[in-house]
Amino acid sequence: MHRIGFVVFPRFQLMGFAAVTAFEMANLALGETVYEIELLSEAGGEVKSSAGFGVLTKTFDHTAYDTVMFGAGVQIEPMTPSLVEFARRSFETARRVAAPCTGAFVLAESGLLDGRRATTHWAFARQLQDRFPAVKVEEDRIFIVDGSVWTSAGMTASIDLALAMIEKDHGQGVARSVARKLVVYHRRAGGQSQFSALLELEPKSDRIQRSIDYAKANLRRGLSVEELADAAGLSARQFSRAFRAETGQSPAKAVETLRVEAARLMMEQGRHSMDVIAEETGFAIADRMRRAFLRTLGQPPQTIRRNARESASVP
């Protein structure tokens, strides 16, 4: 029996319960209750989610858990001394502690990530690194296991985390069975960059947005800095400086990201050859597109196409 304590707090995000569902499916796959879940909170009683309805919880005590998992929210919530103390105690008493998404901030505040590798949702990764420089943040990872401490990316990545735990506890066959029941990949290909790359292109000014819109509409063109600057109504030097300040990327990297995203959509939605896709999205040749995919998504175009076909074939 693996007793899991799942910690929630006011305004927790319900998607974090996806991990709980994975453990439930493991019980069904094995035909017995091997995972027992208890919802925990600092004060006990009803705790309301960000959706507005609540769940009943048990207050922190000295119960011994096999695994303690800290839930996440849509923003970083203040951490009380009691929560920090419970995290530290759990690290000493449980076989493993886990924190999907923003739950990593609880572990970091408790000092449990000092000197360890960890990840979190890509949108909070830099904040985690800035606030806790002793943590070795790897922002592109879906999940990381460092000793007895497990962290994962955004809240759906808690499924990946739970599947890895299930595989460690009961073998690959059970984990695969759970993944099939949930209609997810047993092991997801790629890192968070495949989800965050375009979302990071959120400029603050209309001029830079115009240049991005121009690039999207003209991917087959060369799209030099001078061409993009002209679309923005700036000199090349002003444009390069403003673009990096607003997006955190160089214009060349942003154009590559836009091309990768357009090519990915063509692979997922159609049956064009790699050569045709490379030409249509401005890469010119398939090998250049492949190298860009590896830099941006961490996987080659063939993997993207294979995953898309597998998803389409799932009954």
- Summarize pLDDT for 135-167 with one digit per residue, the tens: 999 877 788 899 999 999 887 888 889 998 999
Say what the pLDDT of residue 87 is: 96
SS3 helix, strand, coil % of the chain, rounded to 5?
Answer: 50, 15, 35
> Looking at the predicted structure, is the pLDDT value of residue 113 above 70?
yes
Mean pLDDT across the chain:
88
Tell me the H-state helices in 233-280.
236-247, 251-269, 274-280
Q: Of 19-28, 46-55, 170-179, which range is least confident?
A: 170-179
Residues 6+ apart with CB under 8 A from 34: 1, 2, 26, 27, 169, 170
Q: Could you tell me the pLDDT band of residue 200, with boundaries at 50, 70 and 90?
A: low
pLDDT at residue 201 in the model: 65
Confidence of residue 315 (pLDDT cuts 50, 70, 90): very low
* Whole-number percent of the chain with pLDDT over 70: 91
Tell which wins on pLDDT, 198 or 232: 232
- As a whole number, mean pLDDT of residues 168-176 equals 89
> Higher pLDDT residue, 266 or 6?
6
Confidence check: pLDDT of 195 > 90:
no
The predicted structure's pLDDT at residue 193: 52
Instruction: Give the helix ranges, DSSP H, for 97-232.
Output: 104-109, 122-131, 157-170, 172-182, 193-196, 206-217, 225-232
Provide the pLDDT for residue 308. 66
- Residue 314, token pair as written in the block: 């799932």
Contacts with 197 (C-beta within 8 Å, 6 or more apart), sequence order: 257, 260, 261, 296, 297
**Integer Cα distance of 197 and 31 in angstroms:** 41
> Measured between alpha carbons, how far is residue 25 from residues 9, 167, 174 in Å?
25, 13, 9
Residue range 68-95: average pLDDT? 92
Q: Provide the pLDDT for residue 115.
A: 95
Please classify residue 89 by burial: count the beta carbons closer than 10 Å to its beta carbon, then call 0-12 exposed, 13-18 middle and 19+ buried: middle
Report the alpha-carbon distance of residue 54 to residue 10 in Å, rounded: 9
Query: What pTM value is reported for the model?
Result: 0.65
Percentage of residues in the chain having pLDDT higher than 90:
59
Q: Which conformational region is residue 57 in: left (phi greater than 0), alpha (psi within -120 to 50 degrees), or beta? A: beta
